[in-house]
């Protein structure tokens, strides 16, 4: 039996209507602390580190106390990496805390304590990749540069290309396409990028796009094509029983301990001794935990 191929939808480069997107962002964009006019580049940088792989609702309770304690890069650099890991709490992927501390130190030593604005200079800092550098350049300094996260990629794919998006990282082609659609004026382009990102987070969500409520609904190519589906989806990652879960438990135990702990004390966090030992070794290797000469474990100082 022959299968009928799905029609290829027409591309609609005019789907990302700047006026509609900016009006949406003005009216429905979330009032997030790193978007406040007084926030400044360091707040944007901290938020971008925290938002890598962690949703806004989990970042908010950590972001405020972090900025109160370390309002400038030099304040964070003056404290220990272990303090940063402890304050990171349960945001997950705690290597980001170490990298943010290392970046604060590099900014303090090499950039007079000020977050640099150039993308290439930002990318030379620890933990700052292409996406984070562009996000800081756009949202902190108003640069005209494409900022493509999974939310933006999904809106771009659906509204402009007429295709649903599998959850893959952004490609250079995505960035080139979005750049060609940015408004010419840099500050407007930066706000446009934030608006597309917000639309993907709030309206054009992965599983339940709220099309009747969407400012792009009249021009959206995916909607016009009748919502053709993608065939391949990434498998959902399991969490229970993984080394990530065990590492998280060990880190939580170390964060909650006011003194170094003897290795046997860590036994309570996970029953599998081999997996536990493997995870302790990897945490020490990653610099997230330190093994003292007597064998006790602690956070880095």
Q: Which residues are catalytic?
A: 48
Q: Determine, following the binding rule CB under 6 A, whether residue 195 of this chain makes contact with ligand SF4.
A: no
d(CA 104, CA 53): 20
Stretch that binds ligand SF4, among 136-144, 153-161, 165-173, 285-293 (CB under 6 A): 153-161
Using left for φ > 0, alpha for ψ between -120 and 50, and beta otherwise, residue 113 falls in left
Q: How far apart are CA 165 and CA 72, in angstroms?
A: 38
Applying CB under 6 A, the span of 51-59, 155-163, 265-273, 287-295 interacting with ligand SF4 comes to 155-163
**Burial letters for 150-173: b for 16+ Cβ neighbours within 10 Å, e otherwise?**
ebbbbbbbbbbbbbbbeeeebeee
Separation CA 46–CA 84 (nearest Å) = 12
Distance in Å, CB of 152 to ligand SF4, minimum: 11
Tell me if residue 223 falls in helix, strand or coil: helix
Minimum distance of ligand SF4 from residue 99's CB (angstroms): 33
CB 97 within 8 A of CB 85: yes
DSSP state of 194: H
Q: Does position 246 bind ligand SF4 by CB under 6 A?
A: no
> Least CB distance from residue 231 to ligand SF4, whole Å?
18
Side-chain half-sphere CA neighbours of 270 within 13 A: 24
User: Angle at CA 35, nearest 5°, toward 33 and 38?
Assistant: 80
- Asked if 223 is part of the footprint of ligand SF4 (rule: CB under 6 A), the reply reads yes
Under the criterion CB under 6 A, does residue 217 sit at the interface with ligand SF4? Answer: yes
Q: Which is nearer to ligand SF4, 159 or 251 (CB)?
A: 159
Taking contact as CB under 6 A, which single stretch among the options 20-28, 116-124, 152-160, 186-194 is the one that binds ligand SF4? 152-160
State the number of CA atoms in the 13 A half-sphere of 92 facing the CB.
11
Asked if 276 touches ligand SF4 (CB under 6 A), the answer is no
Q: Which stretch binds ligand SF4 (CB under 6 A): 24-32, 215-223, 245-253, 288-296?
A: 215-223
Residue 232: its H or E element: none
Min dist CB 104 to ligand SF4, Å, is 38
Minimum distance from residue 220 beta carbon to ligand SF4 (Å): 3
Minimum distance from CB of 154 to ligand SF4 (Å)? Answer: 8
Q: What is the DSSP letter of 90?
A: T
Eight-state DSSP code of residue 225: T
Q: In 227-256, which positions are buried (b, 16+ CB within 10 angstroms) versus exposed (e)?
A: eeeeeeeeeeeeeeeeeeebbbbbbebbbe
Q: Pick one of 152, 190, 216, 283: the residue that binds ligand SF4 (CB under 6 A).
A: 216
Taking the least distance from each CB to ligand SF4, the nearer of 194 and 203 is 203
Which of 137, 163 has the CB closer to ligand SF4?
163
Q: Does 211 bind ligand SF4 (CB under 6 A)?
A: yes
182 contributes a contact to ligand SF4 by CB under 6 A: no
Would you count residue 159 as binding ligand SF4 (CB under 6 A)?
Answer: yes
- Nearer of residues 115 and 201 to ligand SF4, judged by Cβ: 201
Q: Which residues sit at the interface with ligand SF4, rule CB under 6 A?
A: 155, 158-159, 203-204, 209-211, 214, 216-217, 220, 222-223
């Amino acid at each position: 039996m022959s299968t009928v191929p799905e029609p290829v939808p027409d591309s609609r480069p005019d789907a990302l209507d700047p006026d509609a997107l900016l009006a949406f962002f003005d009216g429905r964009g979330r009032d997030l602390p790193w978007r406040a006019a007084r926030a400044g580049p360091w707040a944007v940088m901290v938020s971008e580190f925290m938002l890598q792989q962690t949703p806004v609702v989990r970042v908010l309770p950590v972001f405020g106390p972090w900025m109160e304690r370390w309002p400038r890069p030099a304040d964070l650099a003056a404290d220990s990496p272990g303090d940063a890991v402890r304050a990171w709490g349960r945001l997950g992927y705690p290597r980001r805390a170490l990298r943010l501390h290392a970046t604060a130190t590099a900014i303090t030593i090499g950039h007079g304590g000020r977050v640099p604005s150039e993308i290439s200079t930002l990318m030379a800092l620890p933990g700052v990749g292409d996406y984070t550098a562009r996000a800081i350049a756009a949202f902190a300094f108003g640069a005209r540069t494409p900022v493509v996260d999974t939310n933006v990629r999904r809106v771009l794919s659906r509204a402009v290309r007429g295709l649903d998006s599998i959850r893959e990282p952004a490609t250079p082609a995505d960035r080139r396409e979005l750049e060609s659609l940015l408004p010419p004026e840099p500050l407007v382009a930066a706000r446009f990028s934030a608006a597309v990102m917000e639309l993907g987070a709030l309206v054009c969500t992965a599983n339940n796009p709220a099309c009747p409520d969407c400012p792009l609904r009249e021009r959206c190519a995916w909607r016009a094509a009748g919502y053709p589906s993608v065939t391949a989806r990434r498998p959902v990652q399991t969490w229970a029983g993984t080394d990530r879960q065990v590492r998280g438990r060990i880190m939580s135990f170390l964060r909650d301990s006011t003194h170094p702990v003897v290795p046997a004390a860590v036994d309570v966090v996970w029953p599998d001794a081999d997996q536990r030992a493997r995870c302790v070794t990897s945490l020490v290797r990653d610099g997230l935990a330190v093994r003292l000469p007597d064998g006790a474990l602690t956070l880095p100082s």
